[in-house]
Every structure is written in C-alpha cells, then in structure tokens.
Amino acid sequence: MKIILGDNQFFGINHFDLEKGSQTKQKFSTVNKIDEFINSSLEIGLDGFMINSNEIGYDLIDGKNYDLNKEIHYSIPYPHKYASMVNENGMLSLLSYLFKNISIVSNFNEIVKLFVTRNLLHLMPLALDLEVPKKLRKGSIVYLQNIVTDLLIGMGREDILIKFIKEVIQKGYKPGIITLNPIILNKILDKVDPKILQDLIVCFNINAEGFNVFPSLKEVESFINDSHPYMLMGMSIFASGASNIPQSIQYIKELNLDYIVFGTSKIENVLHNYELFCQN
C-alpha cells in the first residue's frame, strides 16, 4: 500500500471543521511553504503527493523539482478558478484565457469538432491541455475531480469518462478518477477493455466511521474486496479529523487498497501516521 500526501490542508479544505480549514490555509500562504512541507513529508518516507490544479498547484509543479522516485498525483480541473474569472472580469476574460493557454495547433481537430457537433466529448483533450502543467513529468497520475466525475455519471456521459482515460494515457500520463460513488463508477468501467484500465487509479472515500462513504460503508468494503483491473485509493481515511487515528489506520491497513492519501498541516502528524502504517 503506497502512502500519498493529500493537499486539502494547503487550500483550507476541512469537511468537518471549516474554521480549522481556514487556519491551515493561512499556514500555507505561499508556494515555497507548500513545497517545503511536501519535501519534508517525502523525506519521511511517503511515496508521493497529490496537488490540485488551482493556480498555486500549477505554479508548484511548473516551478519546483521533486525526487524522481516519488509519485506526483495531479487532479483537474479547478472549477472555482474559471467561475472567479467570469465573475470578476466577464466571459471575454475566460475566452481570452482559453485561447492564450490552449495549443490551437495540437488541438485543432478537437476544436473544430467541438464547434461543429457541440459535443462535450471534444472538451476533454482541451481541458487536459489547459489544466496540466507543461512541466508535469511523464508517468505522473492525472485525476479527474469528483465534482466532474459524478456530474458526468449523473448525465449519463460515461463516454467522456472513457475519453479522459484514453487521452491521459495518450499524453504519457497515468489516469486517475476521483468519485464519491465507486460502486456506480465500477459498473461503467466493467464495460471497458481491462487493458486500458491497468494503470488507472480510482480514488474514493473510505473510513471506519462511514463518514461521507457512499452509497454505504458495507457496500464499499465489499467493493474493495472484489477483484478489479484497476487500482484503488482510499481518501478521507480519518473522516476529516473526526476519528481515532491509530484505530483508523489499523482499519485501513486491513483493506485491500493499493494507495491511501491523507492530509495534515503538521509534519509531526505525517511522521506519526507514517510510523503507524509501517508497523506490522
């Protein structure tokens, strides 16, 4: 089981305590502070880190170097970035940003198809070109955020999810999908050629308390124990701080997971959690 440092603390995200989340965001107010914390965590022994594609995350990947033996897990998109752009400066600012940052040459066919067919399927290559930092090293894992994954599932657009997986592989990365309901996602992936899914990581909530575990803790536990052509990553393993850490780690260690990801604002917590995971 590989252990990945999460990024919620860097951006003030705490689903259980909003005030605590705001405090941790102030602690990581610059790219350098985040970079220092990541490197300290990797030195402790963590296998890699996850970062979001907001402006700080993008700058972090574009401007810093990390141990080649450690994994980078990069999640896209960051919808708030585009919403703020439109709210503050209007739709023209968004269009200007898109044309400035998308490679027209490499995506010309997809752009034409999008305008002719108006099919959202052709947005996926453009989104990858726009959201993935140019310096993100090949072989890194690129995830689709759950807000998009679950929206597409609800819309019945499983074709876009499969397009995402294929496009990520084509660009030299490994695909990841974050979802709040791995059971429904699995039904979609069951229809896909297993060879395409061998490097895929599916990330979802799992913790002993059943906090934000959907559709139910029992169903997700059963799903984890089944055989899959893709890898599994558990997130929210500490129930956003509402759990007993040693008991939570012992619970997670007994599950058939390939990865776990957790976030914390204190380096001593990274060390303590890592030591607990390493205990027999």
Q: For the chain, which residues make up each domain, given as ranges?
A: 2-278
Residue-wise pLDDT tens digits, 211-267: 999 999 999 999 999 999 999 999 999 997 777 999 999 999 999 999 999 999 999
Confidence of residue 96 (pLDDT cuts 50, 70, 90): low
Shortest CA distance to 7 belongs to which of 149, 201, 145, 133?
Answer: 145
Its pTM stands at 0.88
Tell me, what's the pLDDT at 80? 60
End-to-end Cα distance, the chain: 13
| pLDDT for position 94 | 55
pLDDT at 93: 64
Mean pLDDT value across the chain: 87
CATH of domain 2-278: 3.20.20.100
Higher-confidence residue of 81 and 44: namely 44
* Residue that the structure tokens 């070109």 belong to: 129
Q: How confident is the model at residue 105 (pLDDT cuts 50, 70, 90)?
A: very low
User: Is the torsion defined by CA of 188, 191, 192, 197 positive or negative?
Assistant: positive
Q: Give per-residue pLDDT as tens, 226-236.
A: 999 999 999 99
In 3D, which of 222, 264, 219 has the Cα closest to residue 245? Answer: 264
In the predicted model, is pLDDT for residue 185 greater than 80? yes
277 within 8 A of 253, measured Cβ to Cβ: yes
Mean pLDDT to the nearest integer, 86-113:
62
| Closest among 32, 90, 85 to 54, alpha carbons compared | 85
